[in-house]
Chains A and B, each alone.
Chain A
Amino acid sequence: MLLRHTPKEVADRKALTINPAKTCQPIGAMYAALGVHGCLPHSHGSQGCCSYHRSALTRHYKDPIMAGTSSFTEGSSVFGGQSNLLAALTNMFTIYNPDLVAIHSTCLSETIGDDLAQIVKKATDDGKVPEGKKVIYCNTPSYVGSHITGFSNMCCGIVKGLVEHTGVAKDQVNILPGWVEPSDMKEMKRIAKDMGIKFVMFPDTDGVVDTPQTGKFEMYPAGGAKIEDIATAGDSIKTLACGSWASEDAAKLLDGNFKVPYEVLDIPVGLSATDRYVQALASAAKISIPASFITERGRLVDVISDMSQYLYGKKVAIFGDPDQLIPLTEFLLDLDMIPTHIVSGTPGKRFEKKIKELCAEKAPNVNVKNGERADMFLMHQWIKNEPVDLLIGNTYGKYIARDEDIPFVRYGFPIVDRIGHSYFPTVGYNGGIRLLEKMLGAIMDKIDRDAPETKFELVM
């Protein structure tokens, strides 16, 4: 057994996290920064942080992930990292010529109290930021929140640093997609486009971390939200913030600074959340929903109705990030599956409340926990006490899946042992079909594997 030391009995832990269902803020900031075209993310801290984040994102995307680091030494930790950051900015602009450097802090630079605003101001005043280039920043102390918090903080950094107020209203909607895959961002844009809506989406990693093989390495790939487009977000009619954890703070900033009203939505995972996304887009842009969406939606409903016998009543354990888990739970309920165990390392009191509300009628006994020590070790123990028919989560779930022989669907971050997430969305009606395909595939492979020869089915 891979996790042979995990006991069935759940003991209360007050200090020890085992097999976390989260990671730290800066990686989220790095990922969000990659969603701006021409941006070089920069990690202000010890170089290990940058190395780990680049490695983790690279394993997940199998694509180049470029970023700089301030390479703190013991000296900089004592005397402050200002000179390292100033040197880094000069070097990055000279050698790598980005349009924009997006700095995030780390637990190191936060603990010693480096003031990014002051350092960036000094860099600008000292002429270390070339004409026409930009530097934005955000604080991402690793000991607060999770990787999602870091993503959210960089979204705020983008709003603070790049959005302008021209006073000329624009007939466009801001879409904050939340921490989703490039394929998801592409699909969310496709839906808006097909509805004939003008929009600005940021961050947008479509075309940044899913780049084509052309024989030429592009340090700044073609994709990403354009700085000049982001600048207009202050003139938009509305902001749709997908995922409260990842996008709400940036939406609030757009409202506070530029009077752009916002609506917080779930990431459009599954039938109901996609219904709301499509309706919210239509209502924000004051258009009616094109007939083609009835067809798109109908396909998803059709697949569910065709296959519901394999889904009905099946117990599911899921782990990952709140913005995904909430609509995923709702989708499972739409499928008549039973969300049974749910953990997320990302804190936020409203998570448990929201999950319990969703499950109140159909899965009132759901085990749910988030925040500190809401980890995969606890979820595994729950599974030992109440087995499930399906496990959905990032690659680390495969250890539990194998030990307990549970069909497993890879979903979330990081996925480091399979491909597909960069290219095939799980959002929207089409994404719902892909999720279903994966869930059914996992469940039905087990049926096939375990069926006695007499009961082995050709048609399912």
Chain B
Amino acid sequence: MSEENKLPDPSKLKEEILAKYPPKIARKRAKSMVINDPKLDQEIQSNVRTIPGIITQRGCTYAGCKGVVLGPTRDIVNLVHGPIGCSFYAWLTRRNQTDPGTDGDNFMNYCFSTDMQDDNIVFGGEKKLAQAIQEAYDIFKPKAIGVFSTCPVGLIGDDVHAVSRQMKEKLGDCNVFGFSCEGYKGVSQSAGHHIANNQLFRHVIGLDDTKPTGKYNINLLGEYNIGGDGFEIDRIFQKCGINIICTFSGNSTMDKFANSHMADLNLVMCHRSINYMAEMQETKFGIPWMKVNLIGAESTAKALRKVGEYFEDEALKARIEEVIAEEMPSVKERAAKALEKTDGKVAMLFVGGSRAHHYQELFNELGMKTVSAGYEFGHRDDYEGRKVLPTIKVDADSRNIEEIKVEADPEKFNPRSTEEKLKELDEKGLEVSDYKGMMPDMADQSLIVDDITHWETEKLIEFYKPDVFCAGIKEKYVVQKTGIPLKQLHSYDYGGPYAGFEGAKNFYADIEKILSTTIWKKIKAPWTDKAAADTCICAEFVA
């Protein structure tokens, strides 16, 4: 990192932010705000309890489990056991696209709930749950029903797993399984991802040993087909001749999950939400995994080349180069046009557990500087890289989230590669079983903030005056009221796809659009803008 790339020192900003907090809170928040020095190994406090009342972006474990990981699977009835709200708020709000064809099963447009009432809280809700499962089965005949626990379910002690087991037995041809994803567990959505991974692994993965027909068979993990990202990725991989058996979990089906252990490689997109699955599949079935980023045209090309390297197949490598050569010119052309508006502009990203990192690639391609970023529910490894995993202290909140003990499957374990080979690939930069985290990729003196609060958001905007701020729906209009456009990176502001080559073009166009939108320059009424008012008076006088 050269001196000229060094960003302005935010130490005073950090002090000012902390000065407002009660002393205990200031001490805690200080550890979650790091002035980045990519040359150093710096620790950032993350995946810890949110301070009550601080106004956080975070959601709950249920949201991470039902909303994020299982939400995009179309042929499972996701039945939420709880009062009505939890199911209602997760109903179609995450924009996971799916393509069931003209007659395939698709329950994603439906919202299922046991709508618990006070007598269910007092006397228990298991009977109602069993009845609801029966009714869902009778009406929809799904091949699977997932049961999601909400806060009161855990508190009153309803055993969703026992009910699911009984109903699975009773129904015979429907895979019923539960998730103990009560909202109070863990410290954010993150715990819910883990719980979802565990239960999919336990109840679905490995059920179908059908040998895949493709030559290069992979899974794509941690890609949720928001705004059609997965469709664009499918297009590119198909074009390269790479067969994606299953995407976890964009546009997914239960059958694809069940067959996913037959892949020869797992690509991990969103490390935070799905690394558990990658690790468990490696241990049990011998499938290696590597971290990729399919956000950004260059990183998409890089990811494809990694796959080529992994399979060590010259024909595949050649095909990948052909595809990249075919796709890149129009991407470059679109970028060149956008750069006229975007070059040198400033971005900030506070979102997710991977997106705040991934999207910096796209901003780089637009010549934009990311001055500050952070995750909503990331862990230290997402910031600092997996090398810190052994040193992460497991606190009480994380200890309560189950770690499945996984062993090599006596029959299905089949190491796809050797340790030496994988090591060699890793040394080539393939990030085999590894993720280097966000901080090494960020500029010197950029400010990294975990679980950013509203107060910090306000102060950061004041200090950096970014040209675009990236976050979610709750932050959208708060930030925009300050006169700065906000790009939603959960919902893409109902646009997208942003992944892959076509996605990059869409993103360039959308950021160009945001930065060229006239209205931001017309916020002040002409008569309150002194310079403009003077001109106006002068003009009148001259006339």
Chain A residues proximal to chain B, CB less than 8 Å: 2-5, 7, 11, 13-20, 22-27, 42, 45-49, 51-56, 58-59, 62-77, 84-85, 87-92, 94-96, 106-108, 111-112, 141-144, 146-147, 211, 213-218, 345, 372-373, 377, 396, 399
Q: Is the CB of A215 within 8 A of B524?
A: yes
Q: Is the CB of B50 within 8 A of A47?
A: yes
Given A108-B184, A141-B83, 8 additional A-B pairs, CB 8 A: A2-B109, A11-B138, A66-B478, A69-B50, A77-B155, A141-B118, A144-B118, A147-B85
Q: Is the CB of A107 within 8 A of B109?
A: no
Q: Is the CB of B84 within 8 A of A345?
A: yes
Binary per-residue interface labels of chain B (52-92) against chain A in the complex, 1 for a CB within 8 Å, 0 otherwise: 11111111111100000000000000010011111111111
Collect the chain A residues with CB atoms within 8 Å of residue B473's CB: 55, 58-59
* B275 interface residue (CB < 8 Å to A): no
Total A-B contacts with CB atoms under 8 angstroms apart: 264
Given contacts A16-B136, A108-B183, whether A396 and B91 have CB atoms under 8 Å apart is yes
Q: Is the CB of B53 within 8 A of A91?
A: yes
Task: Give Cα A48 to B63, complex, Å.
Answer: 7
Q: Is the CB of B455 within 8 A of A96?
A: yes
Chain B residues proximal to chain A, CB less than 8 Å: 20-22, 25, 49-63, 79, 82-93, 103, 105-107, 109-118, 120-121, 128-129, 131-132, 134-136, 138-140, 150-152, 154-156, 182-188, 396-397, 400, 453-455, 458, 472-474, 476-483, 523-524
* Selected A-B contacts with CB under 8 Å, 11 pairs: A3-B109, A20-B84, A23-B88, A25-B85, A46-B182, A73-B49, A75-B397, A88-B52, A96-B454, A217-B479, A217-B482
User: Which of B52, B118, B476 has a CB less than 8 Å from the CB of A87?
Assistant: B52
Q: Is the CB of A64 within 8 A of B477?
A: yes
Task: Give Cα A8 to B365, complex, Å.
Answer: 52
User: Which of B63, B87, B524 has a CB less than 8 Å from the CB of A20?
Assistant: B87
Q: Is the CB of A52 within 8 A of B156?
A: no
Q: Is the CB of A4 within 8 A of B106?
A: yes
What's the least CB distance linking A96 to chain B, in Å? 7
Given contacts A73-B49, A74-B397, whether A215 and B112 have CB atoms under 8 Å apart is no
Collect the chain B residues with CB atoms within 8 Å of residue A65's CB: 474
Collect the chain A residues with CB atoms within 8 Å of residue B139's CB: 5, 7, 11, 16, 18
In the complex, the chain A residue whose C-beta lies closest to that of B24 is A87
Task: Give Cα A91 to B481, complex, Å.
Answer: 24
Q: Is the CB of A217 within 8 A of B481?
A: yes
User: Which of A15, A24, A71, A91 has a CB less than 8 Å from the CB of B128?
Assistant: A15
Collect the chain B residues with CB atoms within 8 Å of residue A396's CB: 91-92
What's the least CB distance linking A12 to chain B, in Å? 9
Given contacts A16-B112, A23-B85, A69-B56, whether A87 and B183 have CB atoms under 8 Å apart is no
Given contacts A49-B183, A58-B477, A64-B477, whether A85 and B52 have CB atoms under 8 Å apart is yes
Task: Give Cα A26 to B396, complex, Å.
Answer: 28
Collect the chain A residues with CB atoms within 8 Å of residue B61's CB: 48
Given contacts A23-B88, A51-B59, A95-B20, whether A71 and B50 have CB atoms under 8 Å apart is yes
What's the least CB distance linking A63 to chain B, in Å? 5
Interface centre among B112, B455, B474 (most CB of A within 10 A): B474
Q: Is the CB of B84 within 8 A of A17?
A: yes
Interface centre among B86, B151, B397, B483 (most CB of A within 10 A): B151
Given contacts A51-B60, A107-B83, A107-B150, whether A19 and B115 have CB atoms under 8 Å apart is no
User: Which of B21, B49, B106 has a CB less than 8 Å from the CB of A95?
Assistant: B21
Q: Is the CB of B477 within 8 A of A143?
A: no
Q: Is the CB of B110 within 8 A of A52?
A: no
Top 6 closest pairs, chain A to chain B, by CB: A48-B60, A24-B85, A88-B53, A142-B83, A91-B53, A15-B131
Q: Is the CB of B88 within 8 A of A48?
A: no
Q: Is the CB of B135 within 8 A of A377?
A: no
Collect the chain B residues with CB atoms within 8 Å of residue A218's CB: 481
Task: Give Cα A352 to B50, complex, Å.
Answer: 45
Collect the chain B residues with CB atoms within 8 Å of residue A73's CB: 49, 184, 186-187, 397
Collect the chain A residues with CB atoms within 8 Å of residue B129's CB: 15
In the complex, the chain B residue whose C-beta lies closest to that of A55 is B473
User: Which of B51, B88, B111, B117 has a CB less than 8 Å from the CB of A144?
Assistant: B117
Q: Is the CB of B131 within 8 A of A16?
A: yes
Q: Is the CB of A89 within 8 A of B477?
A: no
Q: Is the CB of B183 within 8 A of A46?
A: yes
Collect the chain B residues with CB atoms within 8 Å of residue A146's CB: 84
In the complex, the chain B residue whose C-beta lies closest to that of A56 is B89
User: Which of A23, A95, A211 has a CB less than 8 Å from the CB of B54?
Assistant: A95
Task: Give Cα A27 to B89, complex, Å.
Answer: 10
Q: Is the CB of A213 within 8 A of B55?
A: no
Q: Is the CB of A214 within 8 A of B84?
A: no
Q: Is the CB of A111 within 8 A of B152?
A: yes
What's the least CB distance linking A54 to chain B, in Å? 5
In the complex, the chain A residue whose C-beta lies closest to that of B92 is A396
Task: Give Cα A55 to B472, complex, Å.
Answer: 9
Collect the chain B residues with CB atoms within 8 Å of residue A214's CB: 481, 523
Collect the chain A residues with CB atoms within 8 Å of residue B152's CB: 107-108, 111, 143
Task: Give Cα A3 to B105, complex, Å.
Answer: 10
Q: Is the CB of A91 within 8 A of B52?
A: yes
Given contacts A15-B114, A48-B62, whether A84 and B482 have CB atoms under 8 Å apart is no
